Amino acid sequence: MAAGRSAKLSHSRSVRLLNSTLAGALICLLGLGCGEHGSRPASSGVEVYFSPEGGCTEAVVNALRQARKTVQVQAYSFTSAPIAKALVEAHRRGVRIQVMLDKSQRTEKYSEADFIQHAGIRCYIDDQHAIAHSKIMIIDTQVVVTGSFNFTRAAEQNNAENLLLIHDGGLAEKYLRNWKEHLKHSERYHRRL
């Protein structure tokens, strides 16, 4: 009886070790967790970045520089000057940019929403939720930028955040469908003077 039980335990440990090894290999193949702060850009798969000071902002800016046709943004907080600048540069290259922000971006002070609107980019406010907390970019209907990372300076320099760049057209289409559902109930942003 003890020998049979020992064999079962040994087999169980072997299965767990094999599953753990396979999971680790899959994570590395997808680019998740194979680098401390980030992974190399890929034409397919997933890139992962961490903050503070882990290159999240740079990864977003680089992804925007590669945009050729469209960028849809959904953001809770948006105060990152480098990301706003990259959006404006993409807009000037002829990329169709649309930005949807939480109602907290409607402020008395000059905000990134004002900066984006002033640059000629369509900006919308989603005020139908307690918080419109998504942090998403859909680039050329092929790349999804998402994670806990807000598009802010604090998220890059002070917070513990994560950012994923997912190169998957099928997944991007699902995010785009959800983005469009939120656009239906959002208002066009206009600076209130």
Q: What pLDDT, in 10s, does the model give residues 31-59? A: 444 333 444 444 569 999 998 989 999 99
Active site residues: 133, 135, 140
Q: What pLDDT, in 10s, does the model give residues 91-150? A: 999 999 999 987 776 765 666 777 888 889 998 888 878 677 789 999 999 999 999 998
Residues contacting 145, CB < 8 A, separation 6+: 59, 60, 63, 136, 137, 138, 139, 163, 164, 165, 166
What sign does the CA torsion over 84, 90, 94, 99 have? Answer: negative
CA distance 18 to 184: 48
- Residue 193 belongs to a domain: no
Q: Are residues 55 and 113 in the same domain?
A: yes
> What tokens were used for 127?
């005020």
Q: What angle do CA 167, 152, 102 make, to 5 degrees?
A: 85
Q: What is the number of structural domains in the chain?
A: 2
Please report how the helices 56-65 and 81-92 are oriented relative to each other, as an axis angle in degrees rounded to 10.
Answer: 0
- Residue 162 belongs to a domain: yes
CATH number at 47 reads: 3.30.870.10
Q: Are residues 139 and 78 in the same domain?
A: yes
Full domain range(s) for residue 11: 1-30
Q: Are residues 25 and 50 in the same domain?
A: no
Q: Are residues 75 and 142 in the same domain?
A: yes
The per-residue pLDDT for 79 is: 82
Q: Are residues 111 and 128 in the same domain?
A: yes
